[in-house]
Amino acid sequence: MKKLGMLFLSTVALVSAQAAQATTYTPAGTFTATGTLTVQKGLTLNCAATFKIVVPEAAPDAHGTFSHGHSANVTAATLTGGLCPLVTLNNLPWPVTYDGTNLIFTGVAASTITPGGCLPGTIQGAWNNTTKTVTFVNQTLTGGSGSANCIINGTLTVNPTISITNP
| DSSP H or E run through 60 | none
Cα–Cα dist 85/72, whole Å: 25
Cα–Cα dist 73/164, whole Å: 14
Task: Give the pLDDT confidence of 122-146 residue by residue, as tens digits.
Answer: 999 999 999 999 999 999 999 999 9
Q: Based on C-alpha coordinates, what's the Rg of the chain?
A: 19
Mean of all residue pLDDT scores within the chain: 86
Class of domain 24-165 (CATH, top level): mainly beta
Cα–Cα dist 46/38, whole Å: 4
Global confidence as pTM: 0.83
pLDDT of res. 18: 40
Task: Give the pLDDT confidence of 52-75 residue by residue, as tens digits.
Answer: 999 998 766 555 555 688 899 999
Centroid of chain to Cα 163:
14
